[in-house]
C-alpha cells in the first residue's frame, strides 16, 4: 500500500499518551505515513521505541539532536506534513501554541507548518474549564486550528468529568477528514 498522506503525530505529557500507539496503528492501516514527535514529558508515559516500531519511522524527541546530515528538522518535518495531529494535547501545549511559543521540536514544527492542525485535548476537567485554557482554545480556533473533544469520562484523578481525550477511532476519523 502506497502511503501518501504524511501525518505528524505530536505526543505530549498526559496519561492519555498511551493511546498514541493505537492512533499510529490505525492511521497506518488507513495508508497514512505517520511520524511521531514526542515531548520530553510524553516519554514518562510511552516509549519512543513503541511509537517508532508502530509507525516504521523515527520517533523524534529532541530539537537539538545531532544527525548524520544537514537538515533543519522542524522545517523539513513541517514542510512534509499533510496534517499535524497532537494527541494528547495538554493544557501546556495548547497555551504554548496560543501564545506562539516554540521551545521544543513539536511546537517549532507546528509554527513552521502550513498543514492543518488538529488537537485532541486531554486534562483534568478543572484545567480544561479554566478561563485561561478556554481562552487559549478560542484563540487557536480563530486562527484555524481544529479540535476534537475532549469528552466526559473517567479522568486520571479518579473522578469523572469533561477532559478525557476523545476515542481513538474518532480522532483517526477526524484526522482523515482534514488530511490534504
Q: Which residue's entry shows cell 505515513?
A: 33
Q: Are 179 and 7 in contact (CB under 8 A)?
A: yes
* pLDDT at 4 (0 to 100): 73
Query: Does the pLDDT of residue 159 top 50, yes or no?
Result: yes
- Written as one string, the DSSP assignment of the chain is ----EEEEEEE-SSGGGGGHHHHHHHHHHTTEEEEEEE-TGGGGTS-HHHHHHHHTS-EE--TT---SS---HHHHHHHH-SEEEEEEE-HHHHHHHHHT---SHHHHHHHH--S-EEEEE---HHHHHSHHHHHHHHHHHHTT-EE---EEEE-TTSSEEEEEPPPHHHHHHHHHHH--
* pLDDT at 2 (0 to 100): 44
Over the stretch 74-112, which tens digit does the pLDDT of each residue have?
Answer: 567 877 889 999 999 999 999 999 999 999 999 999 999
How many structural domains are present in the chain?
A: 1
Confidence band for 147, pLDDT divided at 50, 70 and 90: very high
How confident is the model over 117-130, as a mean pLDDT?
97
Domain that holds residue 139: 5-178
Rounded Cα distance between 34 and 93, Å, is: 20
Work out the percent of the chain whose per-residue pLDDT is above 90: 81
Max mean pLDDT range (107-116, 136-145, 148-157): 136-145
Query: Does the pLDDT of residue 70 top 70, yes or no?
Result: no
Task: Give catalytic status of residue 102 as yes or no.
Answer: no
- CATH code, domain with 22: 3.40.50.1950
* pLDDT at 67 (0 to 100): 59
- Written as one string, the DSSP assignment of 14-53 is SGGGGGHHHHHHHHHHTTEEEEEEE-TGGGGTS-HHHHHH
How confident is the model over 128-142, as a mean pLDDT?
98
* pLDDT at 1 (0 to 100): 41
Q: Which residue's entry shows cell 469528552?
A: 151
pTM over 0.85: yes
Least confident of 70-74, 86-90, 132-136, 151-155: 70-74
Amino acid at each position: 500500500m502506497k502511503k501518501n498522506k504524511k501525518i505528524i503525530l505530536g505526543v505530549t505529557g498526559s496519561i492519555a499518551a498511551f493511546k498514541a500507539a493505537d492512533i499510529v496503528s490505525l492511521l497506518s492501516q488507513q495508508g497514512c505515513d505517520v511520524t511521531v514527535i514526542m515531548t520530553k514529558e510524553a516519554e514518562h508515559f510511552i516509549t519512543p521505541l513503541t511509537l517508532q516500531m508502530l509507525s516504521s519511522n523515527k520517533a523524534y524527541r529532541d530539537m537539538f539532536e545531532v544527525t548524520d546530515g544537514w537538515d533543519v528538522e522542524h522545517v523539513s518535518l513541517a514542510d512534509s506534513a499533510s496534517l499535524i495531529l497532537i494527541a494528547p494535547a495538554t493544557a501546556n501545549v495548547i497555551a504554548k501554541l496560543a501564545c506562539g511559543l516554540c521551545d521544543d521540536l513539536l511546537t517549532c514544527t507546528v509554527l513552521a507548518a502550513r498543514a492543518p492542525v488538529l488537537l485532541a485535548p486531554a486534562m483534568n476537567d478543572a484545567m480544561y474549564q479554566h478561563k485561561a485554557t478556554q481562552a487559549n482554545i478560542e484563540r487557536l480556533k480563530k486562527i484555524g486550528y481544529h479540535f476534537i473533544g475532549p469528552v466526559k469520562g473517567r479522568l486520571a484523578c479518579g473522578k469523572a468529568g469533561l477532559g478525557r481525550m476523545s476515542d481513538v477511532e474518532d480522532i483517526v476519523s477526524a484526522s482523515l477528514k482534514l488530511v490534504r
